[in-house]
Amino acid sequence: MKVAHLTIAAALVVSMGSCVSKKKLQAEQSKYAELNTFYKQVQTDLQKCREEEEAAARKKAQLEKDIEDLNKQVAFLKENNNVVINQLKDLSVISSTQAESIKKSLENIGSKDLYIQDLQKALAQKDSLNMALVMNLKGALNDVNDSDIEIKVEKSAVYISISDKLLFKSGSYALSADAQRVLGKVAQVLNSKPDIEFLVEGHTDNVPMKSVGIEDNWDLSTKRATSIVRVLQNQYKIEPRRMTAGGRSEYLPVQSNDTAAGKAANRRTRIVILPQLDQFFKLLEKPQS
């Protein structure tokens, strides 16, 4: 009997050890899967950053080439005009009026050179302001899921694209609690730059929408945009003259509406921070000949 009892006890010990090892293995496997998912996300984010850096570098190189070409043109015009005026000095047929006209032409070339330099400075300043604004926005929204919000610079404007699941319930234009938190962070940055103006755009997928108080997707996208503008004005005290609200309905998709993921990406709200063109208009108002 004692031998039998010992045999049973030994079997229980082995069985318990096996169960503990299996639990540890499962826990380690779960931890590995979590770390592997995190690693893949980091790699994806890193690749995206590299692509954005490469695109910015290409754009900068093109701008520098354009500026270099303009400077070459100015230098060429200066050199040729100096040659021409020196040659004309030796001709008795040149009149005082013609000489004065040539002199003014040379002065205008100098003005164009200064004009190009002003444009270079304005371009560099605008790019610096946009990048600072993007960094401030990303810093304010660093705790928001990257898949739900995108901030980028495109065509001299800063775009903040927010997924509708962060802002509204399906088919509604009433703002959620999460929307208040996100819009509060955006408003903090916008209030620190009181001179900038921006556009709030509502976007939908292509699923027809009609319910109480909503006629169609045009109506829904517009009401969502105006809901955000009202909150920014009334709750966060942004001056209304700085804001424009508009609905784009389903007609400016970022992905195909053939899949659920594509539809979700198209249901979004964009805040477009418009470029400040006053400095460029003032430069263009300078008399050019």
**According to the model, what pLDDT value does residue 283 have?**
47
**According to the model, what pLDDT value does residue 32 have?**
80
**According to the model, what pLDDT value does residue 198 have?**
94
- Three-state SS sequence of the chain: CHHHHHHHHHHHHHHHHHHHHHHHHHHHHHHHHHHHHHHHHHHHHHHHHHHHHHHHHHHHHHHHHHHHHHHHHHHHHHHHHHHHHHHHHCCCCCCHHHHHHHHHHHHHHHHHHHHHHHHHHHHHHHHHHHHHHHHHHHHHCCCCCCCCEEEEEECCEEEEEEEHHHHECCCCCCECHHHHHHHHHHHHHHHCCCCCCEEEEEECCCCCCCECCECCHHHHHHHHHHHHHHHHHHCCCCCHHHEEEEECCCCCCCCCCCCHHHHHHHCEEEEEECCCCHHHHHHHCCCCC
Taking only the tens of pLDDT, the chain with its 289 residues reads 555 555 665 555 555 555 667 778 788 888 788 777 867 776 776 677 677 667 767 877 787 787 888 788 777 777 776 666 666 555 545 566 666 776 666 666 666 666 566 556 555 556 666 777 788 888 887 777 667 889 888 877 889 999 998 999 888 999 998 888 899 999 999 998 888 899 999 999 999 988 888 999 999 999 999 999 999 999 999 999 999 999 999 999 999 999 999 999 999 999 998 876 564 455 455 544 4
**According to the model, what pLDDT value does residue 272 have?**
94
**According to the model, what pLDDT value does residue 256 have?**
96
pTM: 0.56
